[in-house]
Amino acid sequence: EAGVAQSPRYKIIEKRQSVAFWCNPISGHATLYWYQQILGQGPKLLIQFQNNGVVDDSQLPKDRFSAERLKGVDSTLKIQPAKLEDSAVYLCASSFAGDQPQHFGDGTRLSIL
Amino acid sequence: QKEVEQDPGPLSVPEGAIVSLNCTYSNSAFQYFMWYRQYSRKGPELLMYTYSSGNKEDGRFTAQVDKSSKYISLFIRDSQPSDSATYLCATDSYSGAGSYQLTFGKGTKLSVIP
């Protein structure tokens, strides 16, 4: 079974620029999550999708972050404009259903200069 | 007070030692408890998943939950250098629409020295 795929693995941008991350979940997984992991911290949930609908985006900074999951499969997370404090690893996870264990991708490491 | 507290370490032990990793949580509504292992530059990997108080064993790993004191532990027997990683505890709470949300601790960085 192929795991959760994420790209790019690394991204370096300057503050105020925009950036987008892509996630392809495990085939058949209905629930998709985006997490932010700052160095030395545990992952923090940004947004949760069930198929192509949003279940929870209460911790997503909506003034600069947006996410979509078209057709209930792949998802993109965008930051516009980026701030220095957005430097982190952005992890995507998926699960078969909302009450099933989550499987993580290897993340995108974002550095803001 | 953070909902899940975990000593970040780092923790360094000799090969073959028994390792004890611990977390406390504050919200008694948490129902499910997990341990994830995260290697450097990799995503978290689910190790153990428990619901009730008591012990759950899987090979060299034992997860222990004490809901009365809101304390969760992971024990690693006969530790190996390949166990060197960051260990994250997590709890699972209902977020609506049949879905659950994970709350993670900060993670404990473990090094097993040959």
Q: What is the pLDDT of residues B63-92, one digit of tens each?
A: 999 989 999 999 999 999 999 999 999 998
Number of domains in chain A: 1
pLDDT at B1: 57
pLDDT above 70: residue B97 = no
Q: Which residue has the higher pLDDT, B11 or A2?
A: B11
Contact: B97, A42; criterion CB under 8 Å: no
Residues of chain A in contact with residue B90, where contact means CB-CB under 8 angstroms, are 42
pLDDT at B27: 85
pLDDT, mean over chain A: 94
Instruction: Give SS3 for A72.
Output: helix
pLDDT at B7: 86
Cis upstream peptide for B8 (omega within 30°) = no
pLDDT above 80: residue B98 = no
Q: What is the pLDDT of residues A51-63, one digit of tens each?
A: 889 988 999 999 9
Q: Which domain holds residue A11?
A: 5-112
* pLDDT tier at B2, thresholds 50, 70, 90: low
Contact: B88, A31; criterion CB under 8 Å: no
Distance between CA atoms of residues A17 and A64, nearest Å: 11
Contact: A42, B88; criterion CB under 8 Å: yes
Confirm or reject contact between B40 and chain A (CB < 8 A): no
Q: What is the number of other CB atoms lying within 10 angstroms of the CB of residue B45? A: 15
Residues of chain A numbered 70-99 and touching chain B (CB < 8 Å):
91, 93, 97-99
Q: What is the pLDDT of residues B12-60, one digit of tens each?
A: 999 999 999 999 999 888 888 999 999 999 999 999 988 878 899 999 9
Distance between CA atoms of residues B31 and B6, nearest Å: 18
pLDDT at A97: 84
Distance between CA atoms of residues B83 and A40, nearest Å: 19
Distance between CA atoms of residues A32 and A46, nearest Å: 11
pLDDT at B71: 93
Confirm or reject contact between A39 and chain B (CB < 8 A): no
pLDDT, mean over chain B: 91
Residues of chain B in contact with residue A42, where contact means CB-CB under 8 angstroms, are 4, 6, 88, 90, 104-107
Task: Please state, for a pLDDT cut of 70, what percent of chain A lies above it.
Answer: 99
Interface test mutation site (partner A, options B33, B102, B103, max chain A beta carbons within 10 A): B102
pLDDT at A45: 94
CATH number at residue A90: 2.60.40.10
